[in-house]
Amino acid sequence: MTNNVNPSVLAMRDTGPTPEAQITRDLVKRGLYVAPALFAVSWIVWGSDGAWSSAYALGVVLCNFMAAAGIVVLTVRISYALMMAATLFGYLLRLAAVAAAVMLVREAAWMNLVALGFTLVIAHLGLLFWEIRYVSVSLAYPGLRPTTKRSTTLSTDRNPKEDVNA
């Protein structure tokens, strides 16, 4: 009697590239691009305390995104089941960490809770919605959508009305 050894679904793992890390690096890069404008708006609206609060909140947001990607990247190499459990419970732990980060500084002299709250919400949602435009939804290109180089030269010897593909 032969024993067919099929790997358990719970033991399956992924050793391929990690699009999560690529997406998170891009997301953090975009967060750093927008940081000066965010700090400037916070400075104008809430003063220097608002700018410092906004900087702190943006740091919390970017660390949160990096922790989420790190959890997935580390656990997917072990097993899919561990990745799913770590993602679920990691979300709860990251949510608690964000709450703890706010609680640690809420009484600080430089803290403006309104600026902190607005930055936490706007940065989380804004960066995610901004990144949606650059993420590929194809298994052929997991992660970021490949960039295409478009020709900027115009051809003068061709009539677009005669071109079937135009």
* pLDDT digit string (tens) for the chain, length 166 residues: 555 555 666 667 666 677 888 888 888 999 999 999 999 999 999 999 999 999 999 999 999 999 999 999 898 888 888 888 999 999 999 999 999 999 999 999 999 999 999 999 999 999 988 888 877 666 555 666 666 655 444 444 455 555 455 4
Q: Is residue 153 part of a domain?
A: no
Buried residues in 38-67 as b, exposed as e (16+ CB within 10 A): bbebbbeebeebbbbbbbbbbebbbebbeb
Q: Is residue 149 part of a domain?
A: no
Whole-number pLDDT of residue 4: 58
Q: Is residue 96 part of a domain?
A: yes
Q: What range defines the domain where residue 45 resides? A: 17-132
Residue 69: alpha-carbon gap to chain centroid: 8
Q: Is residue 69 part of a domain?
A: yes
User: How many folded domains does the chain comprise?
Assistant: 1
CA distance 122 to 132: 15
Q: Is residue 146 part of a domain?
A: no
Residue located via tokens 């919400």: 121
Q: Is residue 98 part of a domain?
A: yes
CA distance 108 to 72: 34
Q: Is residue 92 part of a domain?
A: yes
Whole-number pLDDT of residue 128: 87
pTM score: 0.74
Q: Is residue 11 part of a domain?
A: no
